Amino acid sequence: MRYLLPGALLALFSAWLLAATTGDLGFLPFILMLVGGLFIGIWFVGLTFGMRRFGALVHTVVVIVAGAVMFAVIETKPDLSGLPEGARAAIVTLQLALNPAWGWAALALLSRVTHRVTPTAPVVALTLPEWTGERERRELRVPVLALTMRQLTLWIVGAIVVGATLVIPFMIVIDPVRLNWPPQLVIIAIGVIALPITLAARALLAWRTVDAVISWRRLRLEIVAGDRTVTVNLTDIRLLRWRRDSDYARVEVHTATESITLLAGIARVPKGVAPQLPALPPRFVAALEAAGLTRSVTKRGVEEFAREG
């Protein structure tokens, strides 16, 4: 959250600079104005939710005042032709940025109000996958995607490239009439193209979900994921990563000859089950350390067991 406001100001300044120097509201400054405004809206909503007192009141007042300002500008259509180029670019930048900022804040306010007036439904706690077995024979069954982080990144980049391939020609085609469109309509049009691509990418990833079995037997670790089976001695492991939560919940095992990564955070899980991993059994951790691996925890909560040298 702390980077949203600086990012918004940077985007708006870049948009103003491009618009002021070129004298034309091209594609890039237009997008920067919308992105900067959206960042401001997200930052403002987070700020009000973080207030201990009067957060809801500040949220409501700002949405009403900003909405009134937007309505007044649309109705009066002030003449900016007499202003310097830089001043006109600044006013246009702020005017376009206000639309997504106000829209985000208004939606958040609506959610805030409905949350207060709607009866609270009982919270159903999601169950975590659990280790089974006793002492030095433990087993974990969990749905996963057998993808490396690099392959996942390529999936994300591929989805972005496909989206950009469709959105950019669309923006070029409508460029002659785009300035007559309200920014909300442009965002909806882009969303109509981007949403199916996002859903398709997630569906393809979910389709690749397989059931994995991670078994620890004293000095050996066996992983069965779909058609692949990896069995290694703990003394042969060079690096083991274990992240319990977030979309990047995963287990990685690397040896001199074997390497496998299982992503649990984005896998398709049964209803009521959390897409996470449980904590490593203490005896398993002790066995890894006894096998010569050094344990460390990164800032993102990833447990790493690495062999020195």
Region(s) of the chain under CATH 2.30.29? 131-147+209-307
Handedness of CA 139, 141, 146, 150 (dihedral sign): negative
Rounded to whole angstroms, the Cα distance separating 173 from 189 reads: 13
Q: What is the pLDDT of residue 189?
A: 60
If pLDDT is split at 50, 70 and 90, which confidence band does 251 have?
A: very high
> Rounded mean pLDDT of the chain?
80
CA 276 and chain centroid, separation: 16
Please compute the mean of the pLDDT values over residues 286-308 and round it to a whole number: 90
Q: Is it the case that residue 172 has pLDDT exceeding 70?
A: no
Q: Is it the case that residue 277 has pLDDT exceeding 80?
A: yes
* Residue 234 CB coordination number (10 Å): 20
If pLDDT is split at 50, 70 and 90, which confidence band does 233 have?
A: very high
Q: What is the pLDDT of residue 224?
A: 93
The CA–CA distances, whole Å, from 112 to 103, 149, 184 equal 14, 36, 22
Q: What is the pLDDT of residue 122?
A: 62
If pLDDT is split at 50, 70 and 90, which confidence band does 29 have?
A: confident
If pLDDT is split at 50, 70 and 90, which confidence band does 253 have?
A: very high
Q: What is the pLDDT of residue 193?
A: 64
**Treating both helix axes as pointing N-terminal to C-terminal, what angle do 85-117 and 4-22 enclose, rounded to 10 degrees?**
150
Rounded to whole angstroms, the Cα distance separating 191 from 185 reads: 10
Any residues with CB less than 8 A from the CB of 272 and at least 6 apart, and which?
124, 126, 127
Lowest mean pLDDT among 28-37, 131-140, 228-237, 287-296: 28-37
Amino acid at 109: L
Q: Is it the case that residue 227 has pLDDT exceeding 90?
A: no
If pLDDT is split at 50, 70 and 90, which confidence band does 252 have?
A: very high
Q: What is the pLDDT of residue 182?
A: 57
Residue predicted with more confidence, 202 or 235: 235
Q: Is it the case that residue 42 has pLDDT exceeding 70?
A: yes
Determine contact, residues 59/112, Cβ cutoff 8 Å.
yes
CATH number, domain 131-147+209-307, options 2.60.40, 3.50.50, 2.30.29, 2.30.30: 2.30.29
Residue predicted with more confidence, 176 or 57: 57
Query: Residues 257-267: pLDDT tens digits?
Result: 999 999 998 88
Please compute the mean of the pLDDT values over residues 145-151 and round it to a whole number: 83
Q: Is it the case that residue 81 has pLDDT exceeding 70?
A: no
Q: Is it the case that residue 188 has pLDDT exceeding 80?
A: no
Q: What is the pLDDT of residue 30?
A: 75
Tokens 């900067």 correspond to: 36
Q: Is it the case that residue 275 has pLDDT exceeding 70?
A: yes
Q: What is the pLDDT of residue 114?
A: 76
Please compute the mean of the pLDDT values over residues 292-304 and round it to a whole number: 89
Angle in degrees, CA 147, 148, 153, rounded to 5: 100
Residue predicted with more confidence, 156 or 187: 156
Please compute the mean of the pLDDT values over residues 113-127 and round it to a whole number: 68
Rounded to whole angstroms, the Cα distance separating 253 from 259 reads: 6
